[in-house]
Structures are given as C-alpha cells and as structure tokens.
C-alpha cells in the first residue's frame, strides 16, 4: 500500500492520468461527431467506444494513433483503480460512492484498453455486443434478475450523471482557483451539457436492459450505438440525436480541459 501511495504521488503517474483524460475525450469526440453526422443525414453511423477505436485505426497513421490512445486509456484506468484502492489522491479525498464509481470506471476503461490492443493486434477487440452478452446472461440461473439489476444500476448512473451535471458537482473535482472567469464559465458549460448528454445515453441503455430482462428477449438490449440510433428514431429524433451528439462532443472537450484542471 505504501508503494502504491508513492506511485500515485509521482509526476509520471500524474502525467499518465492526465493523458488518460485526453484519451477519454478523443473517444467521446469521435462518438459525438459520428452521431452528429447521422442527425444531419450526412452519411455517418452511430457507434460505441469500440467503434470509435476502430475509426481511429482506419485513419492515416491509425495504428500509431491507436497505440497512443491505448496507452492513455491504460493510464486513465490505472488512475481510477488506484483511487478505488486508496480512497484519495495527492489533492483530494474520496467518499465511499466516489470509490465505487472509480472502481466501475477503472474496470470499464481497462476493458476498453484491452479492446484497443486487440484492434492493434488484428483481433478486432474482445467481447461480444450487448445482445450476445445479455443473451448469455439471460440463460443463467437468476440471469433475468442480473440483467434487470444491471439496467437499474445504469439508470442510477444516469441519475448520478444528471445530478453531477445539473448540480455542477464536477466543479468539486476541478482546480477552479487556477481558472480565469472566462475559462471557468466555458468549463462549467461544457461540463453541464456533457454530463447531461451522458445521462440520457446511460438511461436509454439501462432501459434497454430492463426491457430485455422483463421480456426475456436479448434483442431488446442496446449499447451506446443502439441508444443513439434509438434517439434518432424517436419523435423529433434528428433534433434530439443532434443535441445529444453535441453534448457528447461537449463532454469530450470538457474531458480534455479536465486534463489540465482535474484534481488527481
């Protein structure tokens, strides 16, 4: 534990954590931009985090860019897992809820990092989509309850994201004293808009899982890409999808700004 404390207080670890925030922003920027193209009927295709990584891989110098992104995602995951383990960083103490959120985030971004490595290695990433995963879990003893519980948890995450955004609680994690008034206003606007957009997406995914559990139909389960497509098919769908897409781009910009101002 003492070694972990020493590691998290090193300049190298701080730099890796901040680079991870940039990598997270890049992934959300790609998701948001592709969703915006769908909303504008400009030939885009809604995608999830894995699809965003594949998009990077298909660009010029894509393999090198994806390797750099994977390193950033690894840094972000390691930072979040360290906060879950220690309950604090050099600049901030964490509550029990913060530690649980850090653990979930650390695991999710560890998986995303592994996916990026799999794409670089030519394996296309690991794991199946939400339908195949949900279908497998539904077949377990008590699987319906597990899928339903996962949906409820995601609805709770959506509520927390909305609370964090609308209540501006994310400012508690930022070095606002180092911001000018203009920067703080822009940072706050991006944070509010971005967190609310994420809340909408998490709520849709959670609803899809609950619906799959109730109907015992894995086809009702959706991931991030499915949630965005579902928005596009709703009444005023292109407008709603465009608004959420811009929000996700805003969250990307907020995440990149967070690399400078986050208390790590």
pLDDT at 131 over 80: no
Range with top average pLDDT, 25-39, 89-103, 116-130? 25-39
What pLDDT is attached to residue 33? 92
pLDDT at 172 exceeding the cut of 70: yes
Q: Determine the pLDDT at residue 121.
A: 87
Which of the pair, 27 or 95, is modelled with greater confidence? 27
Q: Rounded distance, CA 19 to CA 44, Å?
A: 28
User: What integer is the mean pLDDT of 143-154?
Assistant: 87
H or E element at residue 176: none
CA distance 112 to 198: 17
pLDDT for 72 beyond 90 = yes
Give 219-251 as a 3 state SS string: HHCCCHHHHHHHHHHCCCHHHHHHHHHHHHHHH
pLDDT bin (cut points 50, 70, 90) of residue 127 is: low
**pLDDT confidence of 235, banded at 50, 70, 90?**
confident
* Residue range(s) defining the domain that contains residue 224: 2-261
User: How many domains is the chain partitioned into structurally?
Assistant: 1
Q: What is the pLDDT of residue 81?
A: 93
- Global pTM reads 0.84
Phi, psi of 92 (to 5 degrees): -160, 145
257 has pLDDT over 90: yes
């Amino acid at each position: 534990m003492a070694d972990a404390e020493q590691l998290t207080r090193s300049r190298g670890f701080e730099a890796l954590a901040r680079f991870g925030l940039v990598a997270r922003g890049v992934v959300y920027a790609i998701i948001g931009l592709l969703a915006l193209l769908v909303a504008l009927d400009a030939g885009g295709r809604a995608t999830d985090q894995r699809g965003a990584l594949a998009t990077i891989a298909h660009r010029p110098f894509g393999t090198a860019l994806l390797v750099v992104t994977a390193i950033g995602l690894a840094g972000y995951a390691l930072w979040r897992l360290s906060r879950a383990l220690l309950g604090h960083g050099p600049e901030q103490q964490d509550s029990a809820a913060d530690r649980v959120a850090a653990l979930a985030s650390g695991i999710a971004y560890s998986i995303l990092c592994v996916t990026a490595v799999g794409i670089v290695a030519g394996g296309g990433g690991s794991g199946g989509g939400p339908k195949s995963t949900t279908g497998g879990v539904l077949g377990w003893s008590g699987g319906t309850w597990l899928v339903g519980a996962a949906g409820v948890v995601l609805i709770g995450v959506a509520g927390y994201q909305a609370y964090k955004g609308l209540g501006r609680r994310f400012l508690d994690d930022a070095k606002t004293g180092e911001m000018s008034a203009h920067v703080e206003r822009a940072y706050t606007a991006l944070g509010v808009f971005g967190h609310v957009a994420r809340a909408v997406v998490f709520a849709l995914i959670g609803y899809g899982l609950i619906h799959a559990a109730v109907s015992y139909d894995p086809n009702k389960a959706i991931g991030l890409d499915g949630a965005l497509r579902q928005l596009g098919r709703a009444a005023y769908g292109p407008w709603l999808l465009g608004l959420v897409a811009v929000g996700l781009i805003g969250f990307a910009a907020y995440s990149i700004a967070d690399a400078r101002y986050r208390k790590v």
